Amino acid sequence: MMVRIDNLSKRFFSLRGEVAALRGLSLDIHDKEFFVLLGPSGCGKSTLLNLIAGLDSPTGGQIWFDDAVMADADRGVCLSPRKRNVAMVFQSYALYPHLSVFDNIAFPLSIAGMRKDEIAEAVREATDMLELADLLAAKPAELSGGQRQRVAIARALVRKPSVFLLDEPLSNLDAQLRASMRTELKSLQRRLGITTIYVTHDQVEAMSLGDRVAVLHDGRLEQTGSPQELYHRPANAFVGTFIGSPPMNLFEASWREADGRPHVEIMNMRLEIPLHLGQRLRALKGASFLLGMRPENIHAHFSTSSPLGLMATVRSAERLGRETLLHLARGEHRLTALTSAGDFTEGAEISVEFDWDHAHFLARSER
């Protein structure tokens, strides 16, 4: 099932006044795709998922499943979740505490009036898949967080939905369980081939699960792409700094050409950069921009002078395990560099070098 979001907007009217939760958002989600909606708290992720589910209606725009319209604000069309054949899993598992695992999973089929033997068969299939077969008689209170989440997923999938929607389903689990549930969920989705839309504010989760990821910010779409594209070719400073950990350094920068050679000015220093990058600088509109450099692309060296790079002072060295994150200062400017050498001491003067082939030349945001 393909899902098309066309110029969708949603305004809420509350005691706070009017809130524009979505501001004209368009997206195409492919058939069988694992699609992730990523963004900070309050950017509109749950609002968008609820609109796709049919739990709420848009104030502008349309939602299509293949060639069928699910919601159209102009024509006042908004199909119910049941008619859309979607299934949704929430952060709070929302299981019925008085029902057994079997009855929880069977519930949506019972209310749909399915025959008892068919229900038993469907539940067996779902519980085999999610390794819950031994727990059919247990009540939710007797289950671990991970098991409860699996029951919630089984209950969602038992109806064979056309679109599977998940809103931060793993955020109540501890880090280790979350990682293993991620792997399970991804392989389950592959086997079932159900178009899946997954909401998270966790960029690591988004990058590891998504075939493609849409980055949302303040009700707008910042960029859509594969995890690789978002990491290596962020469209703007927001995506650049939101994705990647430790985060990308951003420098106020300007550039110009002297004697046919491109120069970049950052932190009150003029640096000559490789000739072939001139073209990318010329493509920017205007002379000022933001230079993005990931910490792993800034190299630190013990050296008292730096003919090509620049000097900085080590403020602190944060050990991350295999690598060390150096927090550096140059005058009032701050930067971070990742290094595998662990013996940098606080207060040391070092030279840093930029790997210009991994530089991001980002236009300033218009917002």
Ligand X SMILES: Nc1ncnc2c1ncn2[C@@H]1O[C@H](COP(=O)(O)OP(=O)(O)OP(=O)(O)O)[C@@H](O)[C@H]1O
Contact region with ligand X (CB under 6 A), list: 37-45, 92-100, 118-126, 266-274: 37-45
21 binds ligand X (CB under 6 A): yes
Q: Which residue lies nearer to ligand X by CB, 39 or 58?
A: 39
12 binds ligand X (CB under 6 A): yes
42 binds ligand X (CB under 6 A): yes
| Rg of the chain (C-alpha set) | 25
Task: Write down the least CB distance from residue 14 to ligand X, Å.
Answer: 4
Applying CB under 6 A, among 9, 47, 189, 339 the residue interacting with ligand X is 47
Residue 43 contacts which entry, ligand X, Mg ion, none (Cβ below 5-8 A, type-dependent) = ligand X
In angstroms, rounded to a whole number, what is the distance separating the alpha carbons of residues 280 and 295? 21
What is the identity of the amino acid at 82? R
55 binds ligand X (CB under 6 A): no
Determine the length of the chain. Answer: 367
What is the identity of the amino acid at 148? R
14 binds ligand X (CB under 6 A): yes
Contact region with ligand X (CB under 6 A), list: 34-42, 105-113, 205-213, 284-292: 34-42
Applying CB under 6 A, among 201, 217, 294, 360 the residue interacting with ligand X is 201
Q: What angle do CA 158, 163, 166 make, to 5 degrees?
A: 80
With beta carbons less than 8 A apart as the criterion, state whether 159 and 127 touch. Answer: no
Task: Write down the least CB distance from residue 13 to ligand X, Å.
Answer: 7
Task: Write down the least CB distance from residue 44 to ligand X, Å.
Answer: 4
CA dihedral of 133, 135, 136, 139, whole degrees rounded to 10: -160
Task: Write down the least CB distance from residue 169 to ligand X, Å.
Answer: 12
What is the identity of the amino acid at 196? T
Q: Which residue lies nearer to Mg ion by CB, 46 or 195?
A: 46
In angstroms, rounded to a whole number, what is the distance separating the alpha carbons of residues 247 and 80? 41
What is the identity of the amino acid at 280? R
In angstroms, rounded to a whole number, what is the distance separating the alpha carbons of residues 103 and 70? 30
279 binds ligand X (CB under 6 A): no
Cα-based distances in Å from 153 to 89, 165, 184, 288? 6, 10, 11, 49
Burial class, 13, CB count within 10 angstroms (exposed 0-12 / middle 13-18 / buried 19+): exposed
Applying CB under 6 A, among 41, 176, 228, 340 the residue interacting with ligand X is 41
Provide the mask over 17-46, with x wherever binding to Mg ion is found by CB under 5 A and - wherever it is not: -----------------------------x
Cα 207 off chain centre by? 7
Residues that bind ligand X (CB under 6 A): 12, 14, 19, 21, 39, 41-47, 201
Residues that bind Mg ion (CB under 5 A): 46
